[in-house]
Structure 1
Amino acid sequence: MRITSTAFLAGGLAAANLLPRQDTSTIPRPSLGDIPYGTNVASCTVPGKLALTFDDGPDVHTSDVLDLLKKNNAKATFFIVGDNGRWGRKNTGDPTGPYPALLKRMHDEGHQLGSHSWSHANFTKLTSQGRREELLKVESMFASVLGFIPTYFRPPYTSYDDATNQDLKTLGYHNLNFDLDTEDYKNDTELSRGFITSGFSQAAANKKINSGKPSSLITLLHDVNEKSVYEFLPWVIYEAKNAGYDLVTVGECLGDPSNYWYRDAVTGQAWSAAILSFL
């Protein structure tokens, strides 16, 4: 069942209240695991895995995405924006709105959460201090709602440069890109299906060197787009299963243990309460 914007947003998103702010600006940020920092990560290392990633949410359609993933025993990664008025959502951390509970549901159901900045700003157009403020502000929201901050970040518009990567490294973030852009933001389902079909075909060509498994892929989708959620995503899941893929988080696709996906918002160390332990 679809959820209408009116029903989903009723009862509180007009308020601008945040949960109690947690300052993460001075916590230690040691490197965790083997995934590189300060460089673009655009492909996975574990064959046979498809990492569905969703940018710009959460939104009114995100709960339906979670329902579909649960029905298909699939996991995904959500890159969260803290305050994105372009979709009428002013504050993801607003305790009177629906989104804190939705973030908790994502985590409880085994999905991975990453940062997509506070306001969906273009990081190459910000100063180093501006980038830092964008990251710290969304960290405060994560810390208040979930008790941890993510170690994975996707720059808005996938726009980054050497200075951006250096700032991300300083703050302990992996710059997570993708190798299969569905261009679902164009709202052309047939176009997006073509990208998936082509990507799966190329990946299947590597089965001989991957013990019979297709090459892994990281896909880009958007849970703020209605057509993506209700027309495109069910088809992607169906085709992915037929192609022999396991639908997993980015961390699992990279072989990164789940406690390294987040750091404790107080100590800065690996998040010991992570619910996944596939390695």
Structure 2
Amino acid sequence: MLTKILALAVLLAHITASPVEKRQDGVQVINNCEVSGQLALTYDDGPWNYEEDISNQFTAAGAKTTFFLNGNNYVCIYDRVDQIRALHAAEHTLGSHTWSHADLTTLSYDEIVSELEQVEDAFVKILGVKPLYFRPPYGSYNDQVLQILADRGYKKVILWTEDTGDANGESVQFSENVIDGINDFPNPHLVLEHSPIDTTHSQVVPYAISTLQERGWQLVAIDTCLGSNGEWPYEYVGEPGTPDDTWHC
């Protein structure tokens, strides 16, 4: 119930908000895409078992998407090295969603740093890059969170305009109704979904891709739909590493 309330509150706050809500030392809070005719479908809470299927569906449709990954939520990120590298190679955008899916506004400074740092270390080991795009669990953040993100070099905090409700246990029909409500082409949209939900990858994803493309939207990754306000969503650190006994949760 708390998750539903938080998500609803954030959604209502974003409906009339401008695409860029605020900036704190270089970090922008993004509420929507900015390029007319483009729409970003985004997927939180992985890695799990369905990201490859979601990726393949987008690739088959000539589209791109965005995954915000946890370090140790449904599964340990180090147990999905090949999968994450495949998503990156397919040119989908990958961002941080914290290590354990914690509500950062309930944590101390050091705890927030740890939630971010552990995911960053995993990205560097697996991909050789550090993520610069971040989605806060539950859409929950405060000035301390923004300051820490800024200090660590993050560029964007990504929120959303529509939530399909899959993580809250809503039905497939509910999620499809959310997609059906996006009918104001060419206005941009930024949609929240969750990759570990079985019915999302098997039913909602194909419905969303076909429905939205038929209405004319170009389905792109979040950095693309920000247009000139977007940037490469990573900091290059070095070549990807080789798994060893430090690659564990």
TM-score by length of 2: 0.81
| Matched position secondary structure for 2:82 | helix
Determine the structure 1 residue equivalent to 2:165: 183
Larger fraction in helix: 2
Determine the structure 2 residue equivalent to 1:67: 56
Equivalenced residue count is 213
Amino acid at match of 2:65: A
Q: 2:214 aligns with which of 230, 242, 259?
A: 242
Note the aligned Cα RMSD (angstroms).
1.7
Q: What's the CA shift for 1:166?
A: 1.6
**1:29-50, Cα deviation, whole Å (9 max, x unpaired):** xxxxxx9543421111111111
Determine the structure 1 residue equivalent to 2:82: 101
Determine the structure 2 residue equivalent to 1:264: 236
Q: 1:217 aligns with which of 151, 167, 189?
A: 189
| Matched position secondary structure for 1:100 | helix
Determine the structure 1 residue equivalent to 2:99: 118
Q: What's the CA shift for 1:257?
A: 8.1
TM-score by length of 1: 0.73
**1:75-99, Cα deviation, whole Å (9 max, x unpaired):** 0000010111xx3x1x212xxx3x1
Asked whether the equivalents of residues 187 and 227 of structure 1 are also in contact (C-alpha less than 8 Å), the reply is no
Determine the structure 2 residue equivalent to 1:207: none
| Matched position secondary structure for 2:227 | coil
Determine the structure 1 residue equivalent to 2:68: 79
| Matched position secondary structure for 1:75 | coil
When residues 256 and 119 of structure 1 are mapped into structure 2, their CA distance, relative to the original with a 3 A threshold, is: farther
- Structure 1 gap segments, 5+ residues each: 1-34, 205-213, 267-279
Rounded to whole Å, the distance in 2 between the matches of 1:57 and 1:220 is 13
Rounded to whole Å, the distance in 2 between the matches of 1:47 and 1:218 is 12
| Aligned ranges 1:166-205 → 2 under 5 Å | 166-173=147-154, 174-185=156-167, 186-198=169-181, 200-201=182-183, 203-204=184-185
Q: What's the CA shift for 1:64?
A: 1.1
Determine the structure 2 residue equivalent to 1:22: none
**1:166-205, Cα deviation, whole Å (9 max, x unpaired):** 211111221111111111222411111111222x22x33x
Q: Percent identity?
A: 32
- Structure 2 gap segments, 5+ residues each: 1-21, 239-249
Amino acid at match of 1:43: N
Asked whether the equivalents of residues 43 and 216 of structure 1 are also in contact (C-alpha less than 8 Å), the reply is yes
Instruction: Please say which structure displays the higher CA radius of gyration.
Output: 1
